[in-house]
């Protein structure tokens, strides 16, 4: 879940081509499933539960506008973790953007329902989506956009070979507050800003 008590700064991360793929298996009682029709409501619920959106309707609108026009890609790129009871409780997406004439692979919208955090599901879904990105897009540099509010997730991303980068023109939104984000992350690691 986002920690909005710390200062907010956006941060880009890059995983270089050739970095080893790490495996973190799911615990018993969970399985990976790809998007199928109707899962947009589960995505909206999960993303709202971690405070990425104030309301499920806003999350659903974002999903509908950004992903649904690419439904065939969505069916092979949007991953969920599902319980044995069929409830979707985590998500991540192996997406892409065209920036400066290049198609770049991006890890998108990683979230685990707070009721299931602390079970290793974040590491497991990131590991599976990074492998999915490699399968679909080849051995290339992969990117993600995050923020200091997600400092716990940043540790997971680093485990999978992503490193903070000061690069600017990687994303459709060119904001990357690398210096301020890194300063804030160092302060958080030293115990400042934490309740």
C-alpha closest to that of 54 among 44, 43, 63: 44
What is the crossing angle of helices 151-159 and 178-189, to 10°?
A: 100
Which CATH code fits 10-189?
A: 3.40.630.30
191 pLDDT above the threshold of 90: no
CB 113 within 8 A of CB 49: yes
Structure tokens at 76: 């092979």
Rounded to two decimals, the pTM is: 0.93
Per domain, the residue ranges of the chain are 10-189
Q: Report pLDDT digits (tens) over 19-69.
A: 999 999 999 999 999 999 999 999 999 999 999 999 999 999 999 999 999
- Token digits of residue 8: 């907010």
Q: How many CB atoms lie within 10 A of CB 44?
A: 23
Task: Write the pLDDT tens digit of every residue in 70-118.
Answer: 999 999 999 999 999 999 999 999 999 887 788 889 999 999 999 999 9
SS3 171: coil
């Amino acid at each position: 879940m986002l920690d909005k008590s710390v200062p907010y700064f956006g941060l880009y991360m890059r995983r270089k081509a050739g970095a080893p793929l790490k495996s973190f298996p799911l615990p018993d009682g969970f399985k990976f499933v790809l998007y199928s029709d109707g899962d947009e409501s589960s995505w909206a619920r999960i993303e709202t539960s971690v405070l990425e959106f104030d309301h499920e309707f806003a999350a659903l609108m974002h999903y509908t506008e950004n992903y649904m026009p690419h439904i065939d890609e969505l069916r092979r790129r949007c991953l969920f973790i599902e319980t044995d009871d069929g409830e979707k409780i985590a998500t991540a997406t192996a997406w892409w953007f065209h920036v400066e004439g290049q198609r770049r692979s991006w890890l998108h919208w990683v979230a685990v329902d707070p009721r299931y955090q602390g079970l290793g599901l974040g590491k497991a879904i990131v590991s599976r989506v990074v492998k999915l990105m490699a399968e679909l897009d080849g051995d290339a540099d992969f990117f993600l956009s995050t923020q200091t509010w997600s400092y716990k997730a940043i540790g997971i991303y680093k485990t999978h070979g992503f490193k903070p980068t000061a690069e600017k023109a990687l994303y459709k939104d060119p904001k990357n507050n690398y210096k301020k984000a890194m300063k804030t992350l160092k302060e958080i690691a030293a115990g400042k800003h934490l309740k």
